[in-house]
Structure 1
């Protein structure tokens, strides 16, 4: 089934994400995060002990006491703080990789389970960027940001308490200077998340442009459109650059604001502290300790500001991830209408209706009608063909049978049971679907054959390849069944890709085989071979075939003629030649009637 008319429209901007949306991603790693937080507490305590130990060394020098105990204690604390910091960083990095891994798996799982209609309205490249670029931003910004902010707050609070114990006036000057810087940083950081999200949206558009060009690179090259497509990709890259620069410009204001606050606090403490030492209000050792505590306050404050900025960037990416996770997946196990899923009935005896369409209507969300009251029946072991001009809705019928789209009206029944009351996955296991484009997955011939029948043996693979005339493809390579087919099957001809798709479907032994233009890419010799294969396949399964090439379906039990979404005629070839002007016109154009 083709996509909705027109190119996919851009999706709406992702809603903002906050810590509430972040917590579910962190919850599976809470033990590692708690351990890292515990190490952060110990490291903070070790850091807070250092100024007091330095002051003790100074006092020991002034009093002429032994220095070894104080120096040894200082060295031990320094070494312990360094070791704890290294362990904490490793633990955080490992946890961050775990968060990225689990998020990528979750996003990829959701992307592959979305309803088909979602792929019609979204660009593949943009969806790919959600798994790649967006999740990568979570590595340093989410996990490290949260823990570093928490650790920095704890260390800063401890430093403030210690500074208050040393001298209250110096603390007051410090708090005033630092508060001004923090206020400026907070006002700037509010816009970082929004601009970061815009930058990620621009990267998604650029990725989609690259994916679009690469997927049709041969057509682009043959059409002499390479320079134009390079321009399109370049323009999208330029938009991504501009969005990134806007975010960087705002982020660049954070560091100077913090630096001014730090320098102002340091100069104020030096000036007032020197005065208070000269007046005898505090000792030199206390001033040195206070300045060291000031550094312990300023360093984590700078780290917290940087971590907060990173966190805003990560939350911008998380918003795009959450947009995908908020989409409802297609539920393979439950029926559409919410009733308890019934067991898919077995195929009835030959000649009995197996697959039925009863007054089926379908329209796109924009109201464009595709099918209007289509009714037909495919008996077990029977062959039914759908023919008609392009755009009549033939491929849409097959897509609706597969359950790719919800019906607008009417019903589709399997052995008398409405398919909406049956589990999708179990029903699809009884259907073999060969698309018109005959997509081939990158990998080997064996990989493609085993897609729907992973337990098939090599003799079974060889047999089905012989049925569709692909044996020579295997034999011309020393790698046999493991011969590579290239990206999108580029190493195969169009006819070989078509036959491979049919072989893949036959291998799964479906009860109904849905074929969309199965001979569109075949020459006369291979068309004859495939017709014999389909005739043999029809002996123990039903066939519903869409065909433009009428020679493929001349011997069908029934041929249904569609035009503008309606059934305008039905019957055998001979009957339709006599009764249907449209069918006669189609047959005459292919030299099947005088």
Structure 2
């Protein structure tokens, strides 16, 4: 049974609260002390009234009563601060844990989930955990303590009035608890709708230029609006159910209060109890119904928070990438170029049709191998398999004779430099983007890496130097600059194997020539596997692997393939511009 189809209970909260158990113990002690100070007030009030009625001094009791009121308020304020601080700490810890988990999920999870929904789990869902601690868990517990203590005192003061109170309050509490149990599932569905709305907004904002150019603002606004309306409707259903709690609780509480006054007045008139007893009982009634109302509300909040916790636990239950990997060794990464060998490799994306069919070829150490073929032939997929973003379905892929599945992913990726086809650039500075692969690199090394791909001007065209901003997704750079920055980033790590996915696709002739010179320089000390987009990239390759529909149809040099392979000859005639 997965977290998706089971309800998460209070026990699931314990790991989250364990780190804060010291503070929570102090909060519990403060709650008990505050409750004791509050519960002592009705008894002191009764005694003061009885003394005044008997014309005896009561100034001392009144002073003690005032002290208890002030002390109870101070203890309550300190408790609330510590509780809020604990709740913020819990949210912080949960966000760190969840973000770290999301960043280590298998790539296939990103393929099947929407980014906006994942963002919603880190943002909106974790925020609801604050209410679980503040107005949920502890108000439920402290409210229960107050109710139990007040009920005991009321029973001792007058069992008859206590029975009247119990009958009136039981109706409202029973209804409220029934409603609260319904809230959790509805709240979880409301959070899911919020996740879908966040996904719709993220989708629209990430393609803002495309949408603007297509004059599709109104359509996308309508799509986001539809998601927002669904979230609104789901939230309204929760609010509609919760709205019944207040009126029914108020009616039951006010009814109980009026009954107590009526029956209590009659019992005072009949001499069964004193005026002091009745006043003390009414004060305890407030200590009963107010915490009871808070506890019912807190229980409802707790159910809402547990619905959000279920969504958080659902993600934390997804196994991490490499969870079954062997532990990485302590030895250094082997130096020098490495050989790659594809041995009858087959692969299909989860839930999709097979992409590769018994692909076999070898990339000798220190060589340059180019992959060419029509769009959809499986070229980029081969690079993803080398990186172990996905596991091969059949066959084996070996690095220096060792099956990559036998290598821990960290150890494997330490030997690989990978430049994606889209060449993503992270929002932030030029320096931060370069340091992703080499966090200890010096400024001189960063500048040298930029010069190697003809990007030295980026660090000199602004007074900020390497600290110049590149914009969201590198929007302040040209397409070619983004691609070369990604390549510089890979080169900076100095890996023995470089995987380049169409490295020159966005470059003009001048920058393509500069990049080819850089590739020529690094090829002397590295193994290169390049998905080729242009003919100029492949003509100097040691070997070219021609793929078609997920199969290897030819392997050879440019001259050999031009003379002996029709598909390659056709691709070369069109300058390999096949995507």
TM-score range (shorter-chain normalised) is: over 0.9
Point out where structure 2 has 5 or more consecutive residues left out of the alignment.
none
Aligned partners of 1:546 and 1:48: how far apart in 2?
77
For 1:371-390, list aligned pairs within 5 A: 371-390=356-375
Q: Is the 8 A contact 2:8 2:310 kept in 1?
A: yes
**Offset at residue 459 of structure 1 (A):** 1.2
> Stretches of 4+ moved more than 3 A in 1?
11-15, 338-345
How far apart, in 2, do the equivalents of 1:439 and 1:457 lie?
Answer: 23
1:426 to 408, 411, 419: 411
Match of 1:546? 531
| Two-structure CA RMSD over aligned residues (Å) | 1.7
Q: 1:89 and 2:80 equivalent?
A: yes
- CA–CA distance in structure 2, aligned partners of residues 119 and 162 of structure 1: 58
- Any idea what SS the aligned residue of 2:344 has? strand
Q: How far apart are residue 343 of structure 1 and its match?
A: 6.0
Q: Is the 8 A contact 1:342 1:422 kept in 2?
A: no
Distance 1:591 1:98 in 2: 55
Query: Residue 287 of structure 2 aligns with which residue?
Result: 296
Aligned-partner SS, 1:366: coil
Q: Aligned residue for 1:53?
A: 44
Q: Residues 432-488 of structure 1: CA distance to partner in whole angstroms, max 9, x if unpaired?
A: 000000000111111111110011111111111111010122221111111110010
Contact 1:142 1:314 in 2 (8 A): no
- Distance in 2 of aligned mates of 1:490 and 1:510: 28
Counterparts of 1:344 and 1:543 in 2: how far apart (Å)?
21
Correspondence 1:39-438 to 2 at 5 A = 39-331=30-322, 335=325, 346=334, 354-438=339-423
Structure 1 residues 219 and 462, CA gap change in structure 2 (3 angstroms)? same
Q: Does residue 1:566 correspond to 2:551, yes or no?
A: yes
Query: Structure 1 unaligned runs (5+)?
Result: 1-10
Is contact 2:342-2:397 (8 Å) kept?
Answer: yes
Alpha-carbon distance in structure 1 between the residues aligned to 2:37 and 2:3? 49
| Deviation larger for 169-178 or 205-214 | 169-178
Partners of 1:346 and 1:415 within 8 A in 2 = no
Report the more deviating stretch, 489-498 or 41-50. 41-50
Q: Secondary structure of the equivalent of 2:346?
A: strand
Contact 1:347–1:511 (CA under 8 A) maintained in structure 2: yes
Q: CA deviation at 1:423?
A: 1.2
Cα 1:170–1:531 shift into 2, 3 Å: same
**Alpha-carbon separation, structure 1, partners of 2:547 and 2:332:** 29
Looking at structure 1, the residues matched to 140 and 22 of structure 2 have their Cα atoms a distance apart, in angstroms, of: 18
**Contact 1:371–1:566 (8 Å) recurs in 2:** yes
Q: Once the two structures are superposed, what CA deviation does each residue of 1:166-192 show, in whole Å capped at 9, x if it has no partner?
A: 111001111111111111111111111
Determine the C-alpha separation between the residues in 2 that align with 1:339 and 1:201.
36
Cα offset, 1:60, TM superposition: 1.1
Does the CA-based 8 Å contact 2:51-2:57 persist in structure 1?
Answer: yes
What's the offset of the Cα at 1:144?
Answer: 3.7
- Residue 29 of structure 2 aligns with which residue? 38
CA distance in 2, matches of 1:537, 1:247: 61
2:504–2:534: 8 Å Cα contact kept in structure 1? Answer: yes
- Superposed, 1:469-488 pairs within 5 Å as 469-488=454-473
> Separation in 2 of the partners of 1:130 and 1:285?
54
Asked whether the 8 Å contact 1:203–1:237 carries over to 2, the reply is yes
Equivalent residue, structure 1, for 2:426 = 441
Q: Does 1:586 align with 2:574?
A: no
SS of the residue corresponding to residue 262 of structure 2 reads helix
Q: Does the Cα contact within 8 Å between 1:371 and 1:564 map onto a contact in 2?
A: yes
Matched, 1:465 2:432: no
Mark the CA change 1:342 to 1:355 in structure 2 (over 3 Å): closer, same or farther.
farther
CA distance in 2, matches of 1:566, 1:385: 15
Q: 1:532 to 1:14 in 2, by over 3 A?
A: farther
Contact kept? 1:347, 1:354, Cα under 8 Å: no
Asked if 1:511 corresponds to 2:499, the answer is no
Q: CA deviation at 1:347?
A: 5.2
Number of equivalences: 576
CA distance in 1, matches of 2:507, 2:538: 15
Alignment correspondent of 1:493: 478
Q: CA deviation at 1:566?
A: 0.3
Instruction: Note if contact 1:159-1:296 (Cα within 8 Å) is conserved in structure 2.
Output: yes
**Distance change (3 Å), C-alpha of 1:213 and 1:15:** farther
Q: 1:50 Cα shift?
A: 0.4
2:340 touches 2:398 (CA, 8 Å); kept in 1? yes
Q: Does the 8 Å CA contact 1:356/1:377 hold for their aligned counterparts? A: yes
TM-score of the two chains, using structure 1 as the length reference:
0.94
The answer to whether the 8 A contact 2:363-2:369 is kept is yes
Query: 536, 542, 548: which one pairs with 1:557?
Result: 542
Q: 1:367 Cα shift?
A: 4.4
Per-residue Cα deviation, 1:136-183 (whole angstroms, up to 9, x for no partner): 111123344111111111111111111111111001111111111111
Q: Is the 8 A contact 1:374 1:566 kept in 2?
A: yes
TM-score, normalization by structure 2: 0.97
What secondary structure, in the 3-state scheme, does the structure 2 residue paired with 1:137 have?
helix
Whole-Å separation in 1 of the counterparts to 2:333 and 2:290: 69
Going from structure 1 to structure 2, the CA distance change for 1:342 and 1:90 (only over 3 Å counts) comes to closer
- Kept in 2, the 8 Å contact 1:359–1:375? The answer is yes
Please give the secondary structure, in 2, of the residue aligned with 1:30.
Answer: helix
Question: Distance in 2 between the 1:117 and 1:407 partners?
Answer: 13
